[in-house]
Amino acid sequence: MKRFALTLIGTIIIASGALAQQRAGYSNFLLNDYYFNPAIAGSKNVHTANLAYRNQWAGFEGAPTLMIGNFQGSVKNEGKMGYGLSLVSERKGITQNTAIYLNYAHHFKLSEKLKLGLGIQPGYIQHRVRLYDAQVADAGDDVLTGTVYSANALDVSTGFHLYSEKFFLMGSAHRILGKSIQFTSFNSNLALHLNGIIGYSFHIKTKAKKIFELQPSFMARYAAPVPFQYTAMLKGTFDKKMWLGVLYRSNDAIGISAGVTLRKRFSIGYGYDYTLFKMSNYQSGSHEVMLSFVITKDKPSLAEEDENLNNSILEEMQKKLDEEKKNKNK
C-alpha cells in the first residue's frame, strides 16, 4: 500500500503542475483590470486599494477559488509614473499558489486625449500541494499524514495600455519567464498567458442632467494548451454611482454583475456566472465579490473644472429666470 501511496504522490504532483499552468481567471475583468495588465498602474490620478474574491463552481468539492489584494497609484497622483503591489492566492483542490508581485508602469501623453502606458510586474510564486488531503484507497495508511509538497517560481508580466476618456485597448503577457529560469523548482510548469482587452464608453446625458454610460468591452485570452477563449461584456453605469452588466464567455458561461459607488470613494461589486457546459450538472455557478477604496482624491482636469463652472453659471441663471417668472405671476 505504501508503494501505491508513493505512486499516487507522484501522480498528484504531475497533475498539479499541469493545473498550475493555468492562471486563474476573473469574469468581471474591468472591475479588477489591474490583475490582467500591469500597465494599468497609475493610469488614474488616484491611489486605490482593491480586494476581490472568486468562488468558482460553488457546490463542487475542491473547486477553484481566487483571492486578490492590490494597491496601486502614481507618484504625486500625476498619472505618469505608476507603481503597485499585489497579493494573489489561488486554490484548486489540494493545490495552492500564493504569489506576491511588485509593479512599475510609465504613462506617455500621445495627444491631447490619448495616453499610452507600459508596465512590468516581477513576482514570486510558491506552489503547495496538501498531500495529506488526498483521498486514498486505504484510509489507514499514514504515508501522506502531515506531508506537503512545496515548490517555488519567479514570474514576470508585462503589458501596454492605450487609453483616452472613452476608449481603451490593452494587451499583456504573463508568466513570460517560463522554462528559461532553471534554478527554481516550479518555473518549468508555468505556461505563457496572453490577454487582450478593448472597450468603448458611450456617454448619454439624461433629462435630469445625469450621465448614463454604456460600455461594451471584449477580452481575449490564450494559454497553451487551453483553447482560445473570449469574454464579451456590456455594462451600464448611471451617474458614476450604480452599474449593471451582462457577460458571455465562449464555450463556458453567461453572467451578470452589479455594483455601487459610495461618496465617489468606496465601491462594492458582485458578479455571478453560470457554466453552460460540462460542469453545469455538478455546480451552482460562480460568485465574485470586489471591494475598492480610493485612498487619495482625484484632481479635476481643466476641462472638468470648466464644465463645473459653466454648469454653476447656468444653474444660477436658471434660478434668476425662475424667480422673475414667479414675481410676474404674483
Domain-embedded: residue 305: no
Number of domains the chain is built from: 1
φ and ψ at residue 165, rounded to 5 degrees = -65, -35
In this prediction, residue 181 carries a pLDDT of 78
Domain-embedded: residue 311: no
Helix extents (H) in the chain: 2-20, 302-329
Higher pLDDT, 256 or 300: 256
Read off the pLDDT band of 215 (50, 70, 90): very high
How much is the average pLDDT of 135-164? 77
| CB within 8 Å of 237: residues ≥ 6 apart | 212, 213, 215, 243
Q: What is the CATH number of the domain that holds 97?
A: 2.40.160.40
Domain-embedded: residue 107: yes
Of 126-140, 150-164, 180-194, give the lowest mean pLDDT range.
126-140
Domain-embedded: residue 260: yes
In this prediction, residue 51 carries a pLDDT of 95
pTM check: above 0.75:
yes
How much is the average pLDDT of 73-88? 94
Domain-embedded: residue 327: no
Higher pLDDT, 276 or 47: 47
Read off the pLDDT band of 155 (50, 70, 90): very high
Domain-embedded: residue 231: yes
Range of the structural domain that residue 211 is part of: 2-299
Domain-embedded: residue 42: yes
Name 3's bridge partners: none
Read off the pLDDT band of 270 (50, 70, 90): very high
pLDDT surpasses 90 at 14: no
Domain-embedded: residue 309: no
**Strand blocks (E) in 201-299:** 202-205, 211-223, 226-238, 242-249, 253-262, 266-275, 286-294
Read off the pLDDT band of 21 (50, 70, 90): low
Single-letter residue type at 64: P
Instruction: Please state, in angstroms and rounded to a whole number, the distance separating the CA atoms of residues 257 and 275.
Output: 15
pLDDT tens digits for range 168-199? 999 999 999 887 777 777 887 888 999 999 99
